[in-house]
C-alpha cells in the first residue's frame, strides 16, 4: 500500500512588521504560568480545526473570517505565516492558533539567534497577553522534507528549532507555545502500514527532529491527502480514498485497512516506532478534498470525504495500530478557496475551501462542533452585480491573446478539464476569463474593453454549477456603506444609459 500523498506548497516570504506589545512583562509571565497549567489539561483533547490560507485575489476582511470561525464554533486555526492583520483579528477571539514560518526563512533563523529573537518578538510576543491571540504552536517551515525540494531546507530545520526554542525561553513562552514541523506524507513509505519507515536519507534528521519534539512536549505534525494519491495514480482504488468501505482493503497481518487515511496514519505510527518513538502524539496538519479543477474534485466528493473523516475522528475509533486513540487534532484543508495559489501541482490547488472566497459554504457539512451545517460569513460587502462577458456582436477570432492576458492575471482554473466551467462552450470560456479579470480589477470599466471584445452586463451569466463571480470590496475603506451604495448605483445608471445609446 504505497500512499505517498505528495504535496508542494508555494509559500510567500513575508515578515510581519513590529506591532505594539500587549501588557507588561510581569503580566505576560503570570499569564504564561496560567496557560501552562491549562495546557496540561488541554493537550489531551482532540478537536477539528481548519487551515486559513490567505493567497486570494479577493480577500475578506480578517475580522469577517474570524467571525465566520466563531459562527461555526471552530476553536483551532492554522496559519501559514504571521500575517499581522490576521493575528490582530484573532486577538480576544479565544481561538487557538498555530502560526507558520515559511521555508524560505529557515536558513536565517537557523544561523542567527538574534533573528529568532526578533521573529518571536515581532510575531508572537506582540500579539499575546490579556485580550491577545491564543497562540499554541509555531509551525517551523511547511513540509521542508518534501521530495521535490531536493533537500534544500533539510539542514536548517533542527538548528532553527533550537534557536526558536531558546528565543521562546527568553520570552518566558517556552512552557506554553510548542514548536512543530509539518511534514508531508512522502517522508515515510511502506508496502503495508506495519512496515512503515522514514525515507533512508531522512532517517537521521527525522530522528533528531522527533527527539527534539519529544523533549519539549511537542507532537509530530503530518499532512495526509488521499485525494493526491487518487489524482496521481490511475491504479489507486477510488473507494479506498473515502470512509464508506472498500472492495480493495489492505490486509496487513491481522489488521485490515478500509481507507487510505488510516493506512497512511499507521504507516507513520510504524515509522515513528522504528526510531524509538512509537507513542509520539500526532496532529494532522492538513487533510481535505478539493471541489474543482480536476476530475474527481467536486462538491459531492469533498462533502463525502470531509464528513466521513470528521465522523471517523470524533468517533474515537482510532486506527488498527492506535485503537481508541484518534489524532490529537485534525486541521481541515481548508477554510477558504485561494485563487492566487500556484497551480503547479494542479488546478485543484485553488479550490480546497469548504467555503468559497467570499465565505459562503459550498456544501452541507457537520463539523461535530455543535452546528449541523456550515454557516455563511455575514455582512460580506460585494461589488455591484455586474459582469464582463464576450460581446455577442463581435467576431471572437482574435480573442486568444486577450484570454491569455486575463487568465495569466486572474483565476481561470475552473475552465480546465474536470472543472465546473469546462463545459460552457468557447464563448462561455471567453466570458468567464473576461469576467474573472474584470472583477479582479474591481470592475474598472476599461478592464472590460479587450479591444471591444468585452461588454458589461447586468444579467448573471452563471450556468449550472459554473459560477461567474462578483468580487468583494474592503469595507474598511474611507467610504461609508451608504456612500458606496450611491456611487455604485450612479455608475450602473450611467453605464445603462451609455449602453442604450
**Mean of the pLDDT values across residues 274-303?**
97
Mean pLDDT, the chain, rounded, equals 88
**Strands 250-252, 255-257: parallel, antiparallel or unpaired by DSSP?**
antiparallel
CA proximity to 153, closest of 163, 168, 143: 143
Q: Report the range of poorest mean pLDDT among 25-29, 301-305, 433-437, 453-457.
A: 25-29
Instruction: Tell me the percentage of the chain whose pLDDT exceeds 70.
Output: 85
Residue 87 CA to residue 50 CA, distance in Å, equals: 15
- Domains of the chain plus CATH, in order, are 25-350 (3.20.20.80), 387-500 (no CATH)
For 169-178, 275-284, 487-496, which range has the lowest pLDDT when averaged over its residues?
A: 487-496
Give the whole-number percent of the chain exceeding pLDDT 90. 83
Between 157 and 398, name the one with better pLDDT.
157
What would the pLDDT profile of 156-207 be if each residue is shown by its tens digit?
Answer: 999 999 999 999 999 999 999 999 999 999 999 999 999 999 999 999 999 9
* Residue labelled with grid coordinates 518566558: 172
Nearest to 58 by CA among 361, 477, 471: 471
Q: Rounded to two decimals, what is the model's pTM?
A: 0.87
pLDDT at 291 over 70: yes
pLDDT band with cut points at 50, 70 and 90 for residue 4: very low
Question: What's the Cα-to-Cα distance from 445 to each of 190, 264, 404, 449, 457, rounded to whole Å?
Answer: 57, 51, 19, 7, 11
Confidence band for 481, pLDDT divided at 50, 70 and 90:
very low
Q: Is the pLDDT of residue 404 over 70?
A: yes
Query: pLDDT-based confidence at 97, cuts 50/70/90?
Result: very high
Nearest to 304 by CA among 238, 370, 358: 238
pLDDT per position as a tens digit, 208-256: 999 999 999 999 999 999 999 999 998 999 999 999 999 999 999 999 9
Determine the pLDDT at residue 474.
66
pLDDT of residue 473: 87
306 pLDDT more than 90? yes
Write out the catalytic residue numbers. Answer: 143, 286
Q: How does 84-120 read in b/e, with b if 16+ C-beta sit within 10 Å?
A: bebbbbbbebebbbbbbbbbebbbbbbeebebbbbbb
Averaged pLDDT, 473-484: 44
Is 275 in a helix, a strand, or coil?
Answer: coil
Between the alpha carbon of residue 311 and those of residues 58, 75, 106, the distances in Å are: 32, 18, 37
Amino acid at each position: 500500500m504505497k500512499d505517498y500523498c505528495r504535496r508542494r506548497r508555494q509559500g510567500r516570504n513575508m515578515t510581519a512588521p513590529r506591532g505594539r506589545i500587549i501588557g507588561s512583562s510581569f503580566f505576560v509571565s503570570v499569564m504564561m504560568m496560567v496557560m501552562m497549567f491549562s495546557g496540561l489539561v488541554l493537550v489531551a483533547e482532540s478537536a477539528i480545526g481548519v487551515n486559513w490560507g490567505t493567497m486570494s485575489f479577493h480577500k475578506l476582511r480578517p475580522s469577517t473570517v474570524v467571525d465566520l470561525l466563531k459562527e461555526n464554533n471552530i476553536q483551532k486555526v492554522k496559519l501559514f505565516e504571521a500575517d499581522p492583520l490576521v493575528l490582530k483579528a484573532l486577538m480576544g477571539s479565544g481561538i487557538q492558533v498555530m502560526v507558520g514560518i515559511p521555508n524560505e526563512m529557515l536558513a536565517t533563523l537557523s544561523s542567527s539567534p538574534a533573528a529568532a529573537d526578533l521573529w518571536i518578538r515581532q510575531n508572537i510576543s506582540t500579539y499575546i497577553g490579556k485580550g491577545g491571540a491564543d497562540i499554541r504552536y509555531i509551525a517551523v517551515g511547511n513540509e521542508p522534507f518534501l521530495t521535490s525540494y531536493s533537500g534544500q531546507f533539510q539542514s536548517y530545520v533542527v538548528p532553527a528549532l533550537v534557536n526558536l526554542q531558546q528565543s521562546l525561553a527568553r520570552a518566558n513562552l517556552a512552557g506554553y507555545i510548542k514548536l512543530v514541523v509539518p511534514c508531508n506524507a512522502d517522508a515515510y513509505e511502506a508496502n503495508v502500514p506495519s512496515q512503515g519507515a522514514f525515507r533512508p536519507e531522512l532517517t537521521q534528521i527525522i530522528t533528531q527532529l522527533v527527539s527534539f519534539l519529544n523533549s519539549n512536549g511537542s507532537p509530530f505534525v503530518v499532512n495526509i491527502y488521499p485525494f493526491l494519491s487518487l489524482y496521481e495514480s490511475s491504479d489507486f482504488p477510488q473507494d479506498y480514498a473515502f470512509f464508506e468501505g472498500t472492495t480493495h482493503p489492505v490486509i496487513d497481518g491481522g489488521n485490515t485497512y478500509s481507507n487510505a487515511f488510516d493506512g497512511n496514519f499507521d504507516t507513520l505510527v510504524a515509522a515513528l516506532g522504528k526510531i524509538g518513538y512509537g507513542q509520539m502524539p500526532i496532529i494532522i496538519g492538513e487533510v481535505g478534498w478539493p471541489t474543482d479543477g480536476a476530475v474527481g474534485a467536486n462538491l459531492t466528493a469533498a462533502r463525502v470525504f470531509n464528513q466521513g473523516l470528521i465522523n471517523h475522528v470524533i468517533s474515537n475509533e482510532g486506527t488498527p495500530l492506535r485503537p481508541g486513540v484518534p489524532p490529537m487534532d485534525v486541521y481541515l484543508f481548508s477554510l477558504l478557496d485561494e485563487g492566487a495559489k500556484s497551480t503547479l501541482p494542479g488546478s485543484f490547488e485553488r479550490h480546497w475551501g469548504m467555503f468559497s472566497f467570499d465565505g459562503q459554504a459550498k456544501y452541507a457539512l457537520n463539523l461535530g462542533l455543535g452546528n449541523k451545517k456550515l454557516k455563511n460569513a455575514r455582512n460580506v460587502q460585494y461589488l455591484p452585480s455586474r459582469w464582463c462577458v464576450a460581446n455577442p456582436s463581435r467576431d471572437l477570432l482574435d480573442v486568444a491573446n486577450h484570454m491569455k492576458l486575463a487568465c495569466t492575471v486572474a483565476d481561470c482554473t475552473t475552465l480546465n478539464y474536470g472543472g465546473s466551467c469546462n463545459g460552457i462552450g468557447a464563448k462561455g470560456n471567453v466570458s468567464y476569463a473576461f469576467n474573472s479579470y474584470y472583477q479582479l480589477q474591481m470592475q474598472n470599466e476599461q478592464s472590460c474593453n479587450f479591444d471591444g471584445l468585452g461588454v458589461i452586463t447586468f444579467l448573471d451569466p452563471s450556468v449550472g454549477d459554473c459560477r461567474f463571480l462578483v468580487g468583494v470590496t474592503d469595507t474598511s475603506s474611507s467610504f461609508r456603506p451608504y456612500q458606496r451604495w450611491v456611487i455604485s448605483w450612479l455608475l450602473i445608471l450611467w453605464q445603462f444609459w451609455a449602453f442604450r445609446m
